[in-house]
Amino acid sequence: MFEEKEITELVPGQYVIEIAKQNGSFSLSSPGHIKNQAVINHLKSKGVVSVLIDPKKTLKKNIENNNENGARKLLIKEVKEAKEIFNESKKIQRRVFDDALSGTELDLTPVIEITNKSVDAIFNNPDSLACIVNIREKDEYLLEHSVSVAIYMAIFARYLKIKKSIVQELSIGAFLHDVGKIMVPDEILNKPGKLTNDEFTIMKTHANHSIDIITKTPGISKLSLEVAALHHEKINGEGYPFNVKGDDVTKFGRMIAICDIFDALTADRCYKEGFSHIKSFAILRELAQQNHLDIKLVDTFIKCAGVFPVGSLVKLKSNKIAIVEERNPNDPTKPKVKSFYSAKMNHYINTQKIDLQDSKDEIVKGVRAKDFDLDMNKIVEMLLMQG
């Protein structure tokens, strides 16, 4: 049975029998497959409104490719927008730190606007911002950490199906949770080695400073303050600044503790390189087993982030380095990836999209860009340009 298709719905690969409606007198030379978008554009220019197609003769491969290209264009657009949100967030975060240092009352309006923009993007496609979070600048850790924790918190809360209006409040609290660090001397904040007991005592005061600054901020919600106040508390009561214990560490306090530690583990700093996601997940579980973190929430967070998170790099059995583009909910160990570098030859190669569910290739391990002297910013820019 033939179907009538509007010209705007026609895609390459479909088999056209004849013109159904038009605003002219154009006629087909013969029935046939639509080869490309240019043919559709030509029909439009001739005033064709709709056509009859034979669904049985549709070339499925063309339809799949067309759908995939559309999805990729959408993903590329979302990733570009996510990068803009991330960069804008850093500018606002810098202003927040500057105001806190000068003793100026924080202006919550830009914080609300940018965190709401982040939450909207995350509810639309959490993978786009998750990908951008994997890009780190060594000299901007303090700024990027707070932004990243806010993003992780929103992604985690969305995964737990928490109401969007609540997620927005959680994101604001996470965005501001470390504002008190601007009061900690740089020589302690950026010390490459282990802190002495006295230095650690000073470092811990950042939590008190954060609470004081946030409490004095007009318009701040109790929930946003709760999230920031509890980010260093532990279930066993050995956290700080108030040694909150057990059930007094709320669900949201437990969540931000996980997000805060995970970002600190995975991020590069001026004095050390971050751990891989796999290593960081293992450390989170160790901390949970020591009753620092909530074990159920840790395991849920790992599922939320994915064994191989979108935007992370992996080494394949074929000795190719690839970036994870899409998770596979049925088998977290076999995501869709795009290879771009030869670990054997130490040079870039033509990109190849690989669905590891349908490939003989497989992931050997998660890797860092620095392992191969690669720049993550350049990698993402290259992949976006090739999109």
Handedness of CA 219, 221, 224, 230 (dihedral sign): positive
SS3 322: strand
Lowest mean pLDDT: which of 145-149, 180-184, 278-282, 380-384? Answer: 380-384
Identity of the residue numbered 307:
V
Arithmetic mean of pLDDT over the chain: 88
pLDDT tens digits along 4-14: 888 888 888 88
At CB < 8 A and 24+ separation, what contacts does 329-338 make?
A: 330/357, 331/357, 332/303, 332/306, 332/307, 332/308, 333/307, 333/308, 333/362, 333/363, 334/362, 334/363, 335/306, 335/308, 335/310, 337/363, 338/383
Q: Is the pLDDT of residue 129 over 90?
A: no
> Which residues does 336 contact at the CB level (< 8 Å), separation at least 6?
324, 325, 326, 327, 328, 353, 354, 355, 356
* Mean pLDDT (whole number) for 31-42: 82
- The H-or-E segment that residue 342 falls in is strand 336-342
pTM across the whole model:
0.77
pLDDT band of residue 71 (cuts 50, 70, 90) is very low
> What is the separation of C-alpha 196 from the centre of its chain, rounded to a whole number of angstroms?
35
Tell me the sheet residues that pair with 272: 269
Q: Is the pLDDT of residue 308 over 70?
A: yes
User: N- to C-terminal Cα distance for the chain?
Assistant: 37
Domains of the chain: 3-58 (no CATH), 64-305 (1.10.3210.10), 313-385 (no CATH)
3-state percent breakdown (helix, strand, coil) of the chain, nearest 5 = 55, 15, 30
> Which residues does 69 contact at the CB level (< 8 Å), separation at least 6?
none
Radius of gyration of the chain (CA): 25
* Mean pLDDT (whole number) for 339-358: 91
Contact 87, 36 (CB under 8 A): no
pLDDT of residue 74: 47
